[in-house]
Structure 1
């Protein structure tokens, strides 16, 4: 047994118990039965016990059953061990968590999931097993041999006692065994009663056993005062039920019961001091402080033969019979019916008197309850009629009773009839109330009338022809009369005038009770909720506010001004603070306490006054058949949190134990976890919450369901936790837990996912290489096409333009020879021809560049410097060119584009800037090549920078060229502040690479150049 179970068991032992109320009749306890014919047991039940983990155990002649309040589970050890015989005679749950099992083969112990046989304790064990105050186990034998009738087990050592230990000779069979408060062992044998302590015996014989040695003492019960009850299964003088007081035998003799007439089979003195008497043919007798009542088969007991009693840790009393098992426990709501002495089960009204008497309107009688005793005035025996309708006590403590069609006043045991002024009957009295002026108001069922009565006379009669009256009437502190109408509306009546206050509820709603409160508010119980009226405002309280149902049969205030609603589905209590909150926010959800049939509530509809509060604060409700009572100051509460257990894990129809770490197979689809909580007062009201750590993000409320379901859980470790509350909402926060591991399939493992990731990356890389190869081939094709086009252009330039230009120059030179040397025109012609030579040389260089993809010397810098100097010769602008770093070979395409960009920048500076100074600087470093052209001229405005001059494409061309080679072009300028053009080319694009052109760097460079 794990630590959690031990702690729960210890808490259960130390917690205050829910005891039965011995002042009640046994018929007013909650009774449940599990019968053999209903399939709960396969054999007769012989014994019962409860272990510290909270489970109940039933020993039968066909094996051992474990009970959790809902399910009987056959017991079978997980290790495969088993009892030699399945016929179990006695059981005991000891404080150390052990279950002691007695059968005909001896004594066995079940602890920590292990079954062991107690050596040196021969069978059969049948007279009982008890644990004394020191933890010593005593087992009674039922065999006529020399081994000894009783065995002692302590510290795993066992020994059976004989005559040497003080056990008198002749005792062979022990029928009953108990320990009293003084640590005495009492043994009921086949012919005497033995008290034994530390080897000192004392023998007691009731008078009936003196002459009959074959009669045994079958039942024993020790009282806290030191006295002892002994029961014998034979009636007669000195037999039946006897009481041993200070060594003297006294019979039980009360007006209701003579103990000598009983054949007693077992006795139980419950924790509150009430004596339960089991008999062989008369069912159960219940005795407390001289009061006796009875419960037998005709009342619902499974059999009139009682074998054993047992009281569990919550105070529930269990009764074992040959036909099954019955249980009795307290109910918060007590029922009074014909069984308890009412005239009949037709209760239609209830009223509370000043002296504590509760008056009940019934068919055939006017019943009353005072101090728990029922009395009746019945038809033909003092009651002037048959059907008692309304009952009301006025401020002068007079009781007004509507009987049949008459109104009467009960005075000194006699009924005085009240008649109309003409001597006729009042008619069927629907309701009675009293106003602040002590006028009595009667609502008559004839002709929709209100009658005012004073000094026993009808002084006013009011007909209400314009409204559909009901049976509900109340007077407020201001003298208004409030009527509940059949239409569901309220009516306020005063001084002969009627005002109808229409209800917001649906048509057809019926008002069953009206209550006028001291604060001026009015509440009406209806078939569709509560109508509330205060300060001219109406509100409704019903299921939309969280109530369990809308049908309200009656309502009443308790002594603390909490509101109680007797509804169609149970009893609801709303505390005053919560009610005031609802008055302020009528749309809000209200918090309440709820009791249903499991708490003893029997809903119904009383036709007249449905509720009353007696002088002692108890609340009484008439439901049309019986009367029910609840004491708000002494509600039956179960303070014991239920022990919680996880019982089993079921994965794809295969069962796994809940203790330890269960390994579930791969791809487990359907998972079911069975759990339970051990509260036996009302198992149907035990509620659960569970959480699967590793899957659930929050606690799941499963209500009363005792199973959790999951589908397709991913592989991994999980821990399941569950908590539960008892019937009164007391939660056990110590969660029961179980852990399990879902084994992953091979394709769900980490190594498989890692291999898949590697395969995916490899596949993507192969796709990338294929794509790279395709792109490279496409670029190479484009480059080849471009080279061919460059060569074609070069041929055309060489064969046409340059050749033609050269021929033209020869003709100009022929003309030059005919011009005198001293002529100014000759000098101008020579200068033009020199310039033409330069242009022709430059043209040849361009053709060479188209064919060779290169630029001689220091690349674009020398050409740009020469071009700048030529532009500066014909202008007053000073031009300087500088080179920074060591020039390196540039990619031919990049070198050409840099030259064109630089040339366009110089042209713009000389032609449009009107600058005094123009600077050009080209920088070679490891990371980049940078060309800067700046001037101190007129500058450009933002519009020209962004769009260029109209009809000019220089700036646009420069940007397009820089994009083609993957360079960055920045232009800074402002009107009157000059211009700076900065071209930045990354080294990986600018410089000629030493390896093959088909390599990766070549590819990036080609892509950058051919991206357009």
Structure 2
């Protein structure tokens, strides 16, 4: 089958060549001028590559009891704890739980929490505004009698050796960690409200000035330049930062005992914060939150310009948590990727991207223009309209052998850029978009709504014809790629077909057991395993003729796989409608694919990707992967994500259990009564960054039982409680990740004697034997009575 394009035949082009040489040169000059003009305009409509952080706010709607957060602490079990004037709050990434009541050890003695600290024994110390200090351990709260249990506790911390120090409004207390006995050192009211630690040394500051703590007590130290009081204090691990009573900011070098003035007249509401990992932040109502460098320089935190924060914490994932005054809790998470946008059309979709062979890429945003991004960051726009009549590019192909860039448009045109010249090669105006690919034999393949076939050019490089594959006519093709067994794979809305010569020799469609027929991507790995991405039907894996299909129902993160890119280490990157997935292991086990994901919480905005162009993703050869999004492009650096690629397993916990509406202690085995029913268990997992990706499974084990998939549900109700010793187990994982170790609850519901079957069997047998014995005795008695009656009767004639 031959397909002819609309245009001038090759023979006529050759015959008229010399006659049209001058006109052609003039046309090239005009196009070059147009390119230069468009290049100038491209400066005004440039591209911007940014690495934005992900910003999220938590307030009343998410479960916070108050809009102001006084202190933040992440404990070693993973929970994020917050101190507010509405109670002590625990956060697992999805749910806020507020501890308020002091009855029966269910909460601290006061709702007004000012400070938090975790000691070496994993005890949580809660300092309050009006009820002293409380300790939380093994699920129970204990109120200590320090300062009569009624003072303000500004801070609690420990020094080397585990000794505890408590800074109250009245005294500084030194606590023995074993006996919890306290020794107090008297000061003025709020004499020392703040502390800072530099290695093994601890310093305190407040209205009483500046002092160093030791086992001997409080050693007062002089302040510089006549200052008397410290209004705020924090440490970055080597330097103590202080704000004095007049708003002056100073830096104290503990190693050299030297004070340095940094800045004067900070606003009265200024807060100075340490994130507990070496970072210092400064905040006020006018300028928001800024990072304070060692030299005193300030750099704004993106997204936090209007936040007045008083507490900060950086967790192990690099996220910065800010507790604000009146605006809730905020999480600022560094982006794991970069986003490319147009400065004049920020909502333009990313369409197609391809490597330029030198570490850069060619790409198209919307139906505006073609861009070339060089490896050095420079960029230029290439005009197309003057040469081919449109800028809406559907496909790109860079021919490495000739350096030609081939383009297929949505309007049915085939064009190329050679040595800076753009020319239209052929067109099918009554057809749809044109896709162009190259096979390893050097032949170009074309596809549109009417045909799929090999392109044949004349000796002069002009269009001659398309050698169409009749069986694939009318197929909507998304990808054509070389097949390891020979020929090419043609992938599209009918399935995947291997074509050798003019014949289809292998096919994978619904007839071969694959659910769905809208294929968008195909990758054949070094072992000959086929990986097929579908629209809405998940990921298909074919090895030696065996088909395995993975969807969200059996562990895949996204049912749409519009693009598949192999990484340098052999892992597969996939883009779909919900984000980007990384397949960690190609050998997929019974639990389904092991994947990591990049979504909106990682900086993707939006998280949906395009997949209808050719190609929608590319490896630029310089360590970056590019993906076409519904808005712009995403660029991922796999090497920068090596730490992230270590799969995260969220710790799971059991939070509450009750039988017949009576609460149980989840930290100890529980004995249930004979009439126990309606066992209710609430559980969760700690995942501060990706809580929406967490899934659960559980089982009630008598020895061995199957796991029950709970999805994202965080509770279970068992109306009937089995007899005997039970172990309730629950596990959690992120979608596609490994299951966590189990959290367990041990229960015992002793079976009463009358519930054992053998008891009833024995009782029934005994009853039967008794009945038989009684019946036997009755029959003997009846025969005896009859004999006595006969003996007592007078002898009659008949008896004789």
Q: Structures share a fold, TM > 0.5?
A: yes
Equivalent position of 2:41 in the other structure: none
More RCO (CA 8 Å, sep 6+): 2
Q: Aligned match of 1:295 in 302, 309, 329?
A: 302
1:116 corresponds to 2:132: no
SS of the residue 1:350 aligns to: strand
Q: 2:236 aligns with which of 213, 222, 243?
A: 222
In the alignment, does 2:363 pair up with 1:356? no
**Equivalences for 1:891-902 in 2 at 5 Å?**
none
Contact 1:26 1:293 in 2 (8 A): no
- The answer on 1:184 being equivalent to 2:208 is no
Mark the CA change 1:762 to 1:643 in structure 2 (over 3 Å): closer, same or farther: same
Q: Any conservation in 2 of the 1:177–1:186 contact (CA below 8 Å)?
A: yes
Secondary structure of 1:657's counterpart equals: coil
* Local SS of the residue matching 2:587: helix
Cα offset for 1:35?
0.8
* Partner residue, 1:595: 597
The equivalent of 1:604 in structure 2 is 609
In the other structure, the counterpart of 1:323 is: 327
Q: Which of 323, 335, 339 pairs up with 1:336? A: 339
CA 1:375–1:184 in structure 2 vs 1: closer, same or farther (change >3 Å)?
A: farther
Structure 2 residue aligned with 1:58: 82
Residues 311, 451 of structure 1: alpha-carbon distance in 2 compared, 3 angstrom cutoff: same
Partners of 1:27 and 1:127 in 2: CA distance: 36
Say whether 1:615 aligns with 2:621: yes
Matches within 5 A, 1:438-837: 458=462, 460-462=464-466, 464=468, 467-468=473-474, 470=476, 472-474=478-480, 476=482, 483-488=490-495, 490=497, 492=499, 503-505=508-510, 509-513=517-521, 525-527=533-535, 528=537, 541=549, 543=551, 548=556, 551-568=560-577, 571=580, 573=582, 578=587, 591-593=593-595, 595=597, 597=599, 600=602, 602-608=607-613, 609-630=615-636, 632=638, 634=642, 636=644, 644-660=652-668, 662-688=670-696, 690-692=698-700, 694=702, 697=705, 702-713=710-721, 716-722=724-730, 724-725=732-733, 729=737, 733=741, 735-741=743-749, 744=752, 748=754, 761-762=766-767, 764-767=769-772, 769-770=774-775
In the TM superposition, 1:16-31 aligns within 5 A as: 27-29=52-54, 31=55
- After superposition, the Cα gap between the structure-2 partners of 1:557 and 1:126, relative to the gap in structure 1 and judged at 3 Å, is same
Deviation at 1:227, TM superposition (A): 4.4
Structure 1 residue 564 displacement after superposition:
3.6
Mapping of residues 398-413 of structure 1, within 5 Å: 398=403, 400=405, 402=407, 407=415, 409=417
Distance in 2 of aligned mates of 1:268 and 1:568: 39
Hey, what's the Cα distance between the residues in 2 that align with 1:191 and 1:453?
89
Which whole-Å CA distance do the structure 1 matches of 2:61 and 2:321 have between them? 18
Whether the aligned pair in 2 keeps the contact of 1:105 and 1:123 (CA below 8 Å) is: yes
Q: Could you tell me which residue of structure 2 aligns to residue 831 of structure 1? A: none
Distance 1:178 1:407, change over 3 A: farther
The structural deviation recorded for 1:310 is 2.0
Residue 419 of structure 1: SS of its match in structure 2? strand
Quick one: distance in 1 between partners of 2:292 and 2:422? 44
State the distance in 2 between where 1:443 and 1:291 align: 56
Distance 1:177 1:456 in 2: 81
| Further displaced range: 678-687 or 645-654 | 678-687
Per the TM alignment, residue 553 of structure 1 is displaced from its structure 2 partner at its CA by: 0.8
Q: Is the Cα contact below 8 Å between 2:728 and 2:745 reproduced in 1?
A: yes
Deviations 1:823-882 (A, max 9, x none): xxxxxxxxxxxxxxxxxxxxxxxxxxxx9xxxxxxxxxxxxxxxxxxxxxxxxxxxxxxx
Higher strand residue share? 2
Superposed CA offset, 1:587-633 (max 9, x none): x9975435374875734333321222243555433233343455555
Change (3 A) 1:234 1:652: farther
Alpha-carbon distance in 2 for matches of 1:406, 1:679: 50
Length-normalised TM-score, structure 2: 0.69
CA drift at 1:657: 2.8
RMSD: 5.8
TM superposition shift of 1:59: 1.8
2:766 and 2:528 map into 1 onto residues whose CA distance is: 82
1:393-440, CA deviations, whole angstroms, 9 ceiling, x for partnerless residues? 4426958374976846497xxx53133389x99999744434446666
Task: Give 3-state SS (helix, strand or coil) of 1:79's partner.
Answer: helix
CA drift of 1:93 comes to 2.0
C-alpha distance in 2, partners of 1:706/1:550?
24
Query: Rg larger in 1 or in 2?
Result: 1
Tell me if structure 1 keeps the 8 A contact 2:59–2:66. Answer: no
Do the aligned partners of 2:53 and 2:333 also contact (CA within 8 Å) in 1?
A: no
| Whole-angstrom distance in 2 between the partners of 1:383 and 1:295 | 42
1:418 equivalent among 412, 423, 431? 423
Change (3 A) 1:758 1:124: closer
1:382–1:232 CA distance, 2 compared to 1 (3 A) = farther
Matching residue within 256, 265, 281 for 2:271: 265
Report what 2:101 is aligned to: 76
CA distance in 2, matches of 1:533, 1:129: 60
Instruction: Give the equivalent residue in structure 1 for 2:70.
Output: 46
CA contact (8 A) 1:572 1:595 kept: yes
Alignment gaps of 5+ in structure 1: 1-23, 164-169, 253-258, 582-587, 782-794, 796-850, 852-1012
* 1:770-800, Cα deviation, whole Å (9 max, x unpaired): 267569989999xxxxxxxxxxxxx9xxxxx
SS of residue in 2 equivalent to 1:612? strand
SS of equivalent to 2:350: coil
Task: Tell me what 1:307 maps to.
Answer: 310
5+ residue gaps, structure 2, are 1-48, 787-797
| Paired residues, number | 711
- CA shift at 1:650, angstroms? 1.3
2:132 to 104, 107, 113: 107
Question: Could you tell me how far apart the structure 2 residues matched to 1:590 and 1:642 are?
Answer: 18
Contact 1:90-1:102 within 8 A present in 2 as well: yes
TM normalised by structure 1 equals: 0.56
Distance 2:740 2:591 in 1: 27
C-alpha contact (below 8 Å) 1:340/1:374 kept by paired residues: no
Q: Counterparts of 2:342 and 2:261 in 1: how far apart (Å)? A: 31
User: Equivalent residue of 2:322, what SS?
Assistant: strand
Which secondary structure state, in structure 2, belongs to the residue aligned with residue 96 of structure 1? Answer: coil
Q: 1: distance between equivalents of 2:371 and 2:440?
A: 29
Cα 1:511–1:67, aligned 2, differ >3 Å: closer, same or farther? closer
Classify the secondary structure of the residue corresponding to 1:468: coil
Work out whether residues 51 and 94 of structure 1, in 8 Å CA contact, stay in contact via their aligned partners in 2: no
Alpha-carbon deviation of 1:47? 1.7
Counterpart secondary structure, 1:765: helix
